[in-house]
Amino acid sequence: MEKKSRTGTVIIVAVFVVLPVLSTACQRSATPTPIRFPSPAPAPQSALGWNLYTNANDVRDIAFASNGDVWTVSDGGAVRWNPVDGTYTKYTTAESLADNDAHAVAVAADGAIWVGTDAGVSRFDGETWFIYTTENGLLNDLVTAITVAPDGTLWFLTGGGVSRFDGEAWTNYKMPFGRAIAVTPDGVVWVGTFDGLLRFDGQTWTTYSEEDGLPDSHVEDITIAADGTVWAVTWGGVSRFDGEVWATPRQMAMALRHTTPRSIAVASDGAVWVATDTGAFRFDGETWSTYTEEDGLMDRRVNTIAIASDDTVWVGTVNGMGRFDGQTWRTYLTDDGLPANRVYAVAVTSDRAAWFATEEGVTRCDSLTWTTYTDQDGLATDVRDLAVAPDGSLWAAAGHGVSHFDGESWTTYTAADGLPDNDTRHISVDAQGIVWVSTRSRQLAHFDGHTWTIVPGVWLSRRTGTFASALDGSSLWFDAGDGVGYFDGVSLTVYTAVGDNTGPVPTEAPPSMAIIEGGPAKGDLLDIAIAPDGTLWFAISNAISHFDGQTWTTYTTAHGLAGDHIRAIAVATDGTVWAAGDAGAFRFDGQRWIACTVADGLADDSVLDVTVTADGVVWFGTENGVSRYSPISR
């Protein structure tokens, strides 16, 4: 059967040349002229005073170097493994990787290592990292897959399409977003997108979809068998292309019907290996074998699978890498104390231990050890916020209650103990040791060590539930909807956001309430910090507002802020103000906000929380790890 070319979803462009989208008519396209761009300089090192911590065990891709090293990538950077003795070297932005959120790795013909990240592709020549971005010819800085063609050219699948690099010049092809790319021995390029599978013979792009036999047009992975057969993993299952038609072996469809395939590889003997969310599957043409924890696999949630030249099978799971020699599994784990890279909240106790809330629980880090606590230890699940009490103990607000750690054990409180509901949002502890908690029901409660009491007359914003108690516990500041509320225990004052004529009226108003116009910036109030001098700082979406008791001052991008959201704010004992947002961290020098980004030492530019210790050390929880900044080392 002859396959017709359909070019409706593919646009071939030279670098930075914008062309209109083609119609769905068949068209043979000439290859665009490659364009040369300046080669990048060696990537810069992080600034002094910064340390970062990531977890590199959620393995997304695997590659084999000619010297025997095995390379992996994750949302915690890249790792070079010695598979014999299990030693490794981890590379992050601290070692000049473009970004810690890495998706793909490949070994070029000259032995160089290429790593695709959220912020470009990094090349490692054995000593130095070089970063390629759109400024150097790459079509888009998000690189999701990499493959090396038989002629040595490199192909990168990016957020905007495919980039081809021959070592000197770039050729770009615009197409839908995808995660998979492979090249056959005769140089034919296959690209898996979320809108079909594309084949490029050097002149013409051909698109395959469900109409052509694919189980689904959303393609997750592609591999080329030794006999040239193309295998594709889609949302609808696994399919095989013999050069004429796509077909799914019936036995394969039956074996994988209750699982989600993610990656595929074919051994030299023709055995097909499939990575799924319930284990690693092997099909020898007649029978299926499944490998899980019971067989020695470290975790059944398998992300990727690859086969080395000696036919050993390597799998990347959410919890490490495994090697299978046909008989036994060997596990490779980086010794990372942080159990997951998305850090929702950060706190530091009086013993200088740092605490981090992640999807895997709460982790404590001192100068020597990392310890993670989960629901198995009595911690409530889905922790959102952390607070330190005057006695040094830790409190955690979670989706299923409030937990307290006294240094030895966890105690969890729920609605059965007096909370308004179990879905708690924010938590703080005042100087008297009173614990304050906001919940999904918009109510505020405090705990005196014996009893939980719901605060009457205070109804928080349904969107955020943000609040802060005064250091002495005498008053509260909170998100009142389109403004900031102040409650002294008797009367309520609402400062309306700039641009609003009236403030929100609580469902149950206290005996006395005043509405004052001309308060903070308009937007979601995401965090409140009380400075040592008693003034208040408010993180409000894309602005920061300051209130000295008389006057409101608002800072925006005109004062050095960047991004769409300022999520957290903290004040050091010397009055230095730090803010965290989706475009980095910001330090206030008294007049302007000075940005800190990945280039300075942050684990990621998307910062979720910030806290400052008594001696001025700043901790940042980000989307991809933790950063520590010590101004003393500057």
Domains of the chain: 11-15+24-45+57-248 (2.130.10.10)
Predicted confidence (pLDDT) at residue 47 exceeds the cutoff of 70: no
- Decide if 503 contacts 480 (C-beta within 8 A): yes
| Tally of CB atoms within 10 A around 135 | 12
- Tens digits of per-residue pLDDT, 446-479? 999 999 999 887 777 766 667 776 656 667 888 8
Residue 41 has a pLDDT of: 59
Q: Which of 6-15, 236-245, 601-610 has the lowest mean pLDDT?
A: 6-15
Residue type, 251: Q
pLDDT band at 42 (very low <50, low <70, confident <90, very high): low
Q: Which residue has the higher pLDDT, 36 or 545?
A: 545
Residue 555 has a pLDDT of: 92
Residue with tokens 């933790």: 626
Residue 39 has a pLDDT of: 60
- Decide if 324 contacts 315 (C-beta within 8 A): yes
Residue 55 has a pLDDT of: 95
Q: Give the residue-averaged pLDDT of 420-432.
A: 91
- Tens digits of per-residue pLDDT, 93-126? 999 999 999 999 999 999 999 999 999 999 999 9
Say how many CA atoms lie within 13 Å of 479 toward its Cβ. Answer: 28
* Helix-, strand-, coil-residue percentages of the chain, each rounded to 5: 5, 45, 50
Which pair of structure tokens corresponds to residue 333?
């784990």
Predicted confidence (pLDDT) at residue 3 exceeds the cutoff of 80: no
pLDDT band at 26 (very low <50, low <70, confident <90, very high): very low
Q: Give the residue-averaged pLDDT of 296-307.
A: 96
The Cα–Cα gap between 24 and 26 comes to: 7
- Decide if 97 contacts 77 (C-beta within 8 A): yes
- Tens digits of per-residue pLDDT, 169-224? 999 999 999 999 999 999 999 999 999 999 999 999 999 999 998 999 999 999 99
Residue with tokens 């295998």: 231
The Cα–Cα gap between 513 and 503 comes to: 11
Query: What is the bridge-based pairing of β-strands 577-581 and 584-588?
Result: antiparallel
Residue 23 has a pLDDT of: 28
The Cα–Cα gap between 279 and 283 comes to: 13
Predicted confidence (pLDDT) at residue 33 exceeds the cutoff of 80: no
Predicted confidence (pLDDT) at residue 16 exceeds the cutoff of 50: no
pLDDT band at 9 (very low <50, low <70, confident <90, very high): very low
Among residues 393, 400, 402, 381, the alpha carbon closest in space to that of 445 is found at 402
Residue with tokens 């890249």: 78
The Cα–Cα gap between 259 and 237 comes to: 9
Residue with tokens 């500057």: 634
- Decide if 504 contacts 481 (C-beta within 8 A): yes
Which pair of structure tokens corresponds to residue 476?
């509260």
Predicted confidence (pLDDT) at residue 334 exceeds the cutoff of 90: yes
